[in-house]
Chains A and B, each alone.
Chain A
Amino acid sequence: MRFFAISPEAAGNLGNACVHGDITERPVQIHKADFEFQFWPHDDLLDGFFIYACSSELAAALKTANLTGFELAKLDVSFEERFYQWAELHKDEQLPEFQWLQVNGRVGIDDFGLVAGPVETPLIVSERALTILKQYKLSFCDIETYIPQKLSAAG
């Protein structure tokens, strides 16, 4: 099966209430997620520096598809002070509800996995996972074919 390295929309970062392990480890172990929105999100899958957030609709689809390598959990969110300035541009919109997509699978084996090491795009998904993801909005998500050697070398 083919795998892909994906870089979802970068809409936030670790919030102040986030509880995590050694910040210099890659991936950083997130014990308690606090997704701090910095910008108004456009996609159904978001990247917050090792906190991945997916919309409730996408979460339901992933669950139904019986994919492996992830768990879904409640996501606490917070907002960076400038977020409200961006939110003014979306007065008629409602911020979607997001869930925490906890990735715990093995890269190249499970449908979701995280590459260990300092790589730019650690999130690796299977082709069938990508097929599901693509049914949702991924306008700002970069997708490239996963090349294990390349990523391993970098890591």
Chain B
Amino acid sequence: MSAARTLPTGKSRTRNIPTRSLSMSRELQENSEARSMQPVAIETRALMPNQQDMAAFWESLKLAGSTSSREQEMFSGGFSFSNVESLYGGSGATAEGDNKAAQKGIIGTVDHIGVVPMAEIKLEGDRQAATQPDNGALSNPEVQEVRTASAKQVETVKAANPNVSDGSVQNWASKTPAERLAYAEKTDQDGSFELVERKPSGQEVVIAARQMFAEVETKSQAEVDSRPIKDYGYDVKRVGDTQVIRSGVEYQVGKPPEVTEQSLFARIGSLPLDQQAQVIGAGIKAFSGEMSHQQFRIGVGAITGLGEGVVGLAQGAESLGNAIIGVAQFSRDMMENRPAAAETAGKACDSVSKLLTSGIKVYSAAEGYLESVGAATNVGDYGKALRDVAWLGQQINSRWEAMTPEEKTKLTTQLAVENLGGLAVGFGIGKIAKSEKIVETLEAMGTEVSAMGAGSREKAGQFISRMLDKLMPESMGVTPDGRLMPIPKDNIRNEANVLMSKADDSLGANAGKPKELQSGKPEKPPEVTKEALDNPEGLAKLAKKFGINMPPKDTYVFVGEKDALSADAAAKRLGISAEQLKSLDSTSLIAQKLERVPDYRDVFFNKHPGLIPIADRLVIHHGIPKWVLKEHPGLFSAVELNDPLVLRGIYRGVNDELHNSLMHKAWLKFQRTHPNPSRSNVLDMLESLDKKYGHLFAPTEGD
């Protein structure tokens, strides 16, 4: 038998889970440290437990799905307690700027250390609820009256019910929160209820529920805690015969929770993929005019648990919606081969990168939702848009897969150099180049960077945007003679601030592009490079334009000096003519304490002709600094320093930071600490720097 039970709006049900019921799954136990751990005492970083405060914290830890799951996650793993001795919490323990720190912790004995899945906690909670004895409610005369009501009486009650639905639980369950809200507003329903089946044993089982947004909003604003939490993690120390675990979390308090655009995006990024898809879908719907913006904002507030009324959310929601629609619009334009795709491409790249660096997995969410939930239930009117977005992700992956490993490496390295700078090391750019599914890789990168500072997010966003720009399909156009051809993106996009190489003009590939005000943001080296190599005449023309001699011209370096001289200058110092100098053999030159060495820049580009088209964006440096020649004559020859194996091509755009701040300072410190370096000292230093920064060079070194 079933009975409708109306819940008071503004409250949410919680289930308390007994401490002893927490346990790990068998698999997790076998794979965790738990097997080897004995029951241990737990203490936290705070000093004086505050029982009352901490009791609330402990209770919150037990509530799966509540905001306190954040705290639980912050402990880096779940603890299964056999005995909780004390709980504490305190505020104002430390002060950092304007913020006071509130610390919380647990002292107790645990059975296990490891991850306790939320699902299992919930399951245990259900079991506990299922064993609760009958509360005697069935003996209530009013209940008995309901149980024996006639069909007519039931219909009368139904008609009087302001929360009447269309009778389809399935339809309601399949709606997104935003859709539920829209429906509720439309039909003027604002109550929550649960449909409960009572078993003969007296046990009540909820078979359906509708929780309205007023409820969620109230909960969100009253209970959701968006204060930043600092994780102390945990460490295990042996104290006598006992292993002591130290763990804890720390809230930054003193400022009211603030929902910025970024925090809103980050909150969405932390949602399960199906809920991210709901937000994306609702965003498309809202910004294509099928749902009011107000409804979208309320829906996003409900889905994220932030509430609609939080300051700043409205702006964030607008931004979110615009970002989403940017992606969806481009996808739709591409699918339908609209010329507008060329114009929306740039916005789409920026939008995707913004969403990804907030942790929102645009493509995986769309694809995953369509494959699972979307396929089985009513996705709503935005199913098409989600399919478009998923299709675009597949296209990007396909284009990536079609590239050779060398092309992938070149593209990744180049974009990393231009956009990530020093961050490239941390992101493991090599792994990105080797990834099979670039979309998933970029999403993972976005998730990783979403927890970083604004500067890192911006750089990663630029990298992702540029990578997508390279990989997004080109829109097609019809030529005057009726042929269908891809419209080059670079010829369409209005990039007044994009810095182009002079090489582009020489190869005729990018006529009419704005000239660079500063170098360092090459547009398409891999393509230009390939084109150049297939065109020896064009390459020679380019080399001449950039002052590169093919073959390299000779220069002269006096022993004990570091700078190369032209033949004329060296001849003048020797008091001979340039022609006489050029005719001297190596033995005669040595007698003059002179070395004939090919020009280092010519050497580099003759060795790497594929880089000639971007020669104006590269500065060629000696891997071993030239002061070695002057300060330690004889340690290395000028010929050795000008060997192509020792020369390094560095993009100008990042060199200020890269070379100046990192490599040059490293060499300066080496110079100071090695008054009399050996060859191996110098070569070891070269190798160590190559290992550290070589992936940023063109071509890469130290792989």
Contact = CB atoms under 8 A, between A and B. Distances in A.
Given A85-B652, A86-B652, A14 B627 contact: yes
A42 B664 CA distance: 14
Interface in B445-482: none
A88 B627 contact: no
B674 A118 contact: yes
In the complex, which range does the number of interface residues on chain B fall in? 20 to 34
Given A16-B563, A42-B656, A24 B676 contact: yes
A14 B562 CA distance: 11
A10 B669 CA distance: 10
Contacts of A40: 656, 660
A25 B675 contact: yes
B518 interface: yes
Given A16-B561, A81-B563, A119 B672 contact: yes
B150 interface: no
A118 B659 contact: no
A91 B561 CA distance: 30
Main secondary structure of the interface of A (DSSP, over half): loop
A39 B660 contact: yes
B668 A118 contact: no
Given A38-B664, A82-B621, A24 B675 contact: yes
Interface in B627-677: 627, 631, 652-653, 655-656, 659-661, 664-665, 668-669, 671-676
A122 interface: yes
Interface in B673-700: 673-676
Interface of B: 517-520, 561-563, 619-621, 625, 627, 631, 652-653, 655-656, 659-661, 664-665, 668-669, 671-676
A122 B660 contact: no
Given A16-B563, A119-B672, A89 B661 contact: no
Closest 3 CB pairs of A and B: A24-B675, A120-B669, A10-B665
Interface of A: 7, 9-11, 13-14, 16, 23-26, 38-40, 42, 47, 49, 81-82, 85-86, 88-89, 91, 118-122, 140, 142, 154
Contacts of B517: 91
A118 B517 CA distance: 42
Contact of B661 (A9, A16, A26, A85): A9
Contacts of A121: 669
A23 B562 CA distance: 15
Nearest to A154: B673
Given A23-B631, A86-B619, A89-B520, A118 B656 contact: no
Contacts of A154: 673
B212 to A, nearest CB: 54
Contacts of B520: 89
A8 to B, nearest CB: 9
Contact of B660 (A9, A81, A118): A9
A49 B659 CA distance: 16
A13 B627 contact: yes
Contacts of B655: 39, 86
A39 B619 CA distance: 11
A82 B669 contact: no
Nearest to A24: B675
A40 B657 CA distance: 11
Contact of B673 (A13, A25, A119, A142): A119
A91 B621 contact: no
Contacts of A89: 518-520, 652-653, 656
27 contacts: A7-B665, A9-B661, A10-B661, A10-B668, A14-B627, A23-B675, A24-B676, A38-B664, A39-B659, A39-B660, A40-B656, A40-B660, A49-B627, A49-B671, A82-B619, A86-B652, A88-B518, A88-B519, A88-B652, A89-B653, A91-B518, A118-B674, A120-B673, A122-B672, A140-B660, A140-B665, A154-B673
A50 B669 CA distance: 11
A146 to B, nearest CB: 16
B660 A11 contact: yes
Contacts of A24: 675-676
B668 A49 contact: yes
B660 A10 contact: yes
Q: Which among B563, B627, B659, B664 has the highest number of chain A CB atoms within 10 Å? A: B664
Given A10-B668, A82-B619, 20 more contacts: A9-B660, A10-B664, A11-B660, A16-B563, A23-B675, A24-B676, A26-B675, A39-B655, A40-B660, A49-B672, A81-B563, A85-B619, A86-B652, A88-B518, A89-B519, A89-B652, A118-B672, A118-B673, A118-B674, A140-B665
